[in-house]
Chain A
């Protein structure tokens, strides 16, 4: 079985500061890993994904994530937070078998302070 753990259900950052959202996974097979963002009252939008190519993945809106197999981690970062980054972020894992179904972490809500 595969699972995803996101450390911290809420993160508060100042505008211009580093955003770091932590995600650890467990999977019996090499996983595919995703970060999605959910803005208030909206659906989920893909930020980036890891599919066994480069371990450092760049996504939209200046976000990036690094796959570290030894640490079973896929942390999301952005060098400088913007007010528009206030949202909930979900890490998800797919084991790549038929179906592409995703298992989501609990989510991390980001608050950006001016």
Chain B
């Protein structure tokens, strides 16, 4: 299995620009998560989907952030406009449906720098 695939791996952008991060979950997984990792705040859950439907977006920091999952094999996290404080590593993760306690599998992350 290819695992969770994220792109781009690294992005440097200027403040005010739109940033789109992409994720392909593991085939057959019904849950998809977006996490953000920073030195100050650690790992934070931004939003998660079940069967392509957003379930909990309470972690999305503000309206500049939006996430979509148009189908079972693709999700995007968009930041518009971007700000320097958005610089972080953004992880996408997926897990299968079924009994709770299922393992969540993480991608390698998208390293975003906003200058």
Binding site for B on A (CB under 8 A): 32, 34, 36, 42-46, 49, 51-52, 90, 94, 96-107
* CA A90 to CA B91, docked complex, whole Å: 14
Interface status of B101 (Cβ within 8 A of chain A): yes
* CA A90 to CA B45, docked complex, whole Å: 14
Assess whether B95 is in contact with A106, with CB atoms less than 8 Å apart.
no
Assess whether A100 is in contact with B31, with CB atoms less than 8 Å apart.
yes
Q: Contacts A42-B108, A46-B103, A49-B101 given: A99-B42 contact, CB under 8 Å? A: no
Assess whether A100 is in contact with B43, with CB atoms less than 8 Å apart.
no
Assess whether B48 is in contact with A104, with CB atoms less than 8 Å apart.
no
Q: Contacts A99-B48, A101-B48 given: A49-B103 contact, CB under 8 Å? A: yes
Interface status of B25 (Cβ within 8 A of chain A): no
Interface centre among A44, A100, A107 (most CB of B within 10 A): A100
Interface SS of A by simple majority = loop
Binding site for A on B (CB under 8 A): 4, 31, 33, 42-43, 45, 48, 50, 55-56, 91, 93, 95, 99-109
Point out the residues of chain A lying under 8 angstroms from B31, CB to CB. Answer: 99-100
* CA A49 to CA B103, docked complex, whole Å: 8
**Among candidates B45, B99, B106, residue contacting A101 with C-beta atoms closer than 8 Å:** B45
**Among candidates B55, B101, B107, B109, residue contacting A32 with C-beta atoms closer than 8 Å:** B101
Point out the residues of chain A lying under 8 angstroms from B106, CB to CB. Answer: 36, 43-45
B99 nearest in chain A by CB position: A51
Assess whether A100 is in contact with B56, with CB atoms less than 8 Å apart.
no
* CA A69 to CA B107, docked complex, whole Å: 32
Chain A's nearest CB lies how many Å from the CB of B30?
A: 10
Point out the residues of chain B lying under 8 angstroms from A32, CB to CB. Answer: 100-101
B41 nearest in chain A by CB position: A106
Assess whether A106 is in contact with B48, with CB atoms less than 8 Å apart.
no
A50 nearest in chain B by CB position: B101
**Among candidates A36, A42, A94, residue contacting B100 with C-beta atoms closer than 8 Å:** A94
A51 nearest in chain B by CB position: B101
Point out the residues of chain B lying under 8 angstroms from A44, CB to CB. Answer: 91, 93, 106
